[in-house]
Structure 1
Amino acid sequence: MKQTIFTGAGVALITPFTDDGINYDEFARLIDDQIAGGTDALIIAGTSGEAATMNDAEHRAAIKFACEHTAHRVPVIAGTGSNDTAYAIALSQYAESVGADGLLLVTPYYNKCTQAGLIAHYKAIAAAVNLPIILYDVPSRTGVAIATETYVELAKVPNIVAVKEANGDLSKILRLRAAAPELTVYSGNDDQIVPILALGGKGVISVLSNVAPKDTHDMCQFYFDGKVKEAAELQIAYSDLIDALFCEVNPIPVKTAMRLKGYNAGPLRMPLSEMSEAHLAQLKAALKNHKLID
């Protein structure tokens, strides 16, 4: 049986920036508040953490700080994917050396490699580390999707243990569960948490958890406890906020929401831009509806 890194709600944590670096005091506050709110795992330097605009030193420092500050209270999963296999290996090895509990590896972007290339890429990284690996399928961002047959092949690798599915296609996830049941599946979309749990998923890697950690955790826990009605009610109740958090490209809305909640989240890094007035009003209304801001 493959290792399960976590069960429940893992937060795809934002990175609080200053004008010229990372705000580590606020980073610590975010980590502590997430753990206090019941979050089951921290995912560092992923899409929501704006890893795409971090330089190498920042990327490494963010992972190291999160591991040290979390101090094994919950698992820390480091985003170490790249379109450069050699760099992904180096970054993954570094994350392992500073105490990460797992790796999140997005499919190589821009290159648009073949399925054979995906298999070679992931196998090369897996062979270079001992950490458990979560594959990250998000074709809307990367231009390449992981085929079911590719999952079957990669499931043979001992430390490739899970998948973050953000393709939006429940039928594909059904086929994945049938073909490679040994892989843990995490929802990569907050509007599909309960549906994916119903297909045997183990949780979510969540944007929503940034602003509502307890209820995102509870949504999963209710389901695991057999309280399916309560889990579904939370999923439905949060549909307005989930829509607002994705009304512009992630992480623009969630970082704005964290500022509205009183966190010193700092600037978005270009080419990400500030929200339009109409979308900002939508976000504020949803946050107020859930009593997350006044």
Structure 2
Amino acid sequence: MFSGSIPALATPFRDGAVDEAAFRRLVDWQIENGSSALVPCGTTGEASTLDNDEHHRVIGLCAEQAAGRVKIIAGCGSNDTQTALWHIKESTAAGADAVLIVAPYYNRPSQEGLLAHFSYLAERSVLPIVLYNVPGRTVTDISPDTVIELRRRFPEKIVAIKDASGDLARVTAHRLGAGADFCQLSGDDPLALAGYALGQVGCISVTANVAPRLCANFHAAAAAGDFDRARELHDRLFPLHRALFSDASPSPVKYALARLHDWLTDEVRLPIAPCSQPARQAVDAALTSVGLT
């Protein structure tokens, strides 16, 4: 259902508020530069610091501005099942094409709890669901067995996973257990090249915020099996992959975007602090190395 370079969009702020005009320009710029789908209100979009009205407004803006040119995968996860369902309903009304549901964080449910949580949402969602496993942030890990069981129970609804576990062996486990038509997306830009060899078909990306055309070209080469070209682009992008996590995300992303576009600021919301000076230096060097400045 999804493939290629899919940015987890940053949410622009100006003077403490969502900068709607800048966000619309960001959506257009991403589509014009080859991004194959868009994810509003993910981790990079600072969804955890948006209030609910802002959250739903950003998803609506994204769908409205994209106007069917690419698919919209709305971030709808929560550590409360009813809140996640509310986000799903609002995203459906706003025109999203699918929803991204992160494993519930903080309350650390068991695998049985994860099965019940995602099953409850799958039974009530009109939209297809992309599971999001990022145990480094949530503590909770959606095991391959749980992914496979969810896919078995809801083959028309549980359609994909964004895997940011860092465990590439899971790509094979998911493919063999959930089927080759189960859409697997990397959640780690530096691992996307290896993921293609194992069966992933794209990446929900941080780096694509900053270098959408290069990321789109990388994914096109990898999907075509041109691994010499894909490796060349991977190596070119690698310093940027690393620099964008040289401080708490998404502060380096927002600093990089502000360096590239005068219509964007580097504003973040607490508890994320502005990008540190060492991280700024790392981003500056990476932007030059990649050829963006």
Q: Which structure 2 residues correspond to residues 1-294 of structure 1 after superposition, within 5 A?
A: 4=1, 6-156=2-152, 157=154, 158-181=156-179, 182-262=181-261, 263-293=263-293
Letter in 2 for 1:261: L
Which secondary structure does the structure 2 equivalent of 1:185 belong to? strand
Structure 1 unaligned spans of 5+: none
Tell me the alpha carbon deviations over residues 93-142 of structure 1, each in whole angstroms, 9 at most, x when there is no partner. Answer: 11011110110000000010000111111111111112111000000000
| Distance in 2 of aligned mates of 1:88 and 1:197 | 30
Question: In the TM superposition, what is the alpha-carbon distance from 1:194 to its structure 2 partner?
Answer: 1.1
Question: In the TM superposition, what is the alpha-carbon distance from 1:45 to its structure 2 partner?
Answer: 0.4
Letter in 2 for 1:239: F
- Conservation of the 8 A alpha-carbon contact between 1:15 and 1:265: no
Which range is displaced more, 243-252 or 131-140?
243-252
Letter in 2 for 1:277: Q
- Conservation of the 8 A alpha-carbon contact between 2:7 and 2:39: yes
| Distance in 2 of aligned mates of 1:131 and 1:33 | 26
Structure 1 vs Structure 2 CA RMSD: 1.1
Structure 2 unaligned spans of 5+: none
TM-score with structure 1 setting the length:
0.96
| Distance in 2 of aligned mates of 1:276 and 1:93 | 38
- Conservation of the 8 A alpha-carbon contact between 1:93 and 1:128: no
TM-score with structure 2 setting the length:
0.96
- Conservation of the 8 A alpha-carbon contact between 1:186 and 1:201: yes
Percentage identity across paired residues of the two chains = 38
Question: In the TM superposition, what is the alpha-carbon distance from 1:29 to its structure 2 partner?
Answer: 0.6
Tell me the alpha carbon deviations over residues 141-197 of structure 1, each in whole angstroms, 9 at most, x when there is no partner. Answer: 001111111011110212110000001111233222222224211000000111111
Which secondary structure does the structure 1 equivalent of 2:38 belong to? strand
Which secondary structure does the structure 1 equivalent of 2:13 belong to? coil
